[in-house]
Amino acid sequence: MKRWQRRRLYAAVAAWTVTAALIAPFLWMVLGSFKTTVDFLAFPPVFVFAPTLDNYRQVLADNSFLRYTLNSTIVAAGATGVGLLLGVPAAYALARWRRTAIGVVLLMARMAPGIAFLIPLFVMFLQLQLVGSYVSLIASHLIFTLPLTVWMMVGFIEAVPVEIEKAALIDGCSILGVLLRIIVPLTAQGIAATGILAFIASWNNFLFALVLANDNTKTLPVAVLGYIGYNSIQWGTLMAAATFITLPVLVLALCVQRYIVRGLVAGAVSG
């Protein structure tokens, strides 16, 4: 074997080992979701077993779980939609007229702990009798979907050649017309990627829903905690629920993998 071939082989083995180790928890999760309790309690763990769909049946038979799925979808779609509606025009202004103040706001939003907004929002929503409403959840999720949208869209809009806009303006098109007829169609792909990232961020958010949701509006990340009881952990059902929650996100993320890191730079508000 030539030297460069050997090097390529070593690199492949090492890189694939690392990757396999990183995705092993997902495989274990999916595998576990098909196990019966008996298989789950076996040690050493079994890798080959008669798969069962009971765990999924149990998760999906639970009406409240479907309710939580609907809640998660409503909140994530709402926070994404409103974020895009408000964020795209702002990103356009930022990209073309360069208002640096917005950049400072974005950095502040990225640094601020979520809890610093959550405590006052909780008190405010309580006074407005909005705690437990979708409105409170969507509004609070704007804290991260809006900065993420602006940040991502500025990059996409800056890549649009300005001559097209100039021509449209001279032909008598209004700024709003330019935004709707030129910017939005030309950055459609970017808008889709941004929307997906905002959706993921909102879908994954735990703390805000923990505080602002009630039993009717609870979202999936909070609901999954219910499978860890004080005495018993329903392992199989927990794995099935975790698979059910994460799988859509993983699929969506793979669709926009090129933009993930850029989104995380602006988007991941933890806590």
Interactions with another protein, residue window 161-190 (CB under 8 A): 161-163, 165-166, 169-170, 175, 179
Rounded least distance, CB 10 to another protein, Å: 9
The residue from 38, 53, 64, 99 that contacts another protein (CB under 8 A) is 99
- What's the closest the beta carbon of residue 261 comes to another protein, in angstroms? 5
Contacts of residue 149, defined as CB under 8 A and 6 or more positions apart, other chains included, come to 83, 84, 86, 87, 88, 91, 194, 198
Subset of residues 196 to 255 that bind another protein, contact rule: CB under 8 A: 200, 203-204, 206-207, 210-211, 220-222, 224-225, 227-228, 233, 235, 238-239, 241-242, 245-246, 249-250, 253-254
The closest of 218, 115, 203, 166 to 226, measured between CA atoms, is: 218
Q: How far apart are CA 127 and CA 136, in angstroms?
A: 12
**Across-strand partners of 233?**
228
* Member of 65, 76, 96, 151 binding another protein (CB under 8 A): 96
CB of 57 to another protein, least distance (A): 19
Per-residue x/- track, 59-78, another protein (CB under 8 A) = --------------------
Residue 129 vs residues 123, 133, 218: alpha-carbon distances, Å: 10, 9, 17
Task: Tell which one of 6, 37, 38, 41 touches another protein (CB under 8 A).
Answer: 41
Instruction: Determine, following the binding rule CB under 8 A, whether residue 121 of this chain makes contact with another protein.
Output: yes
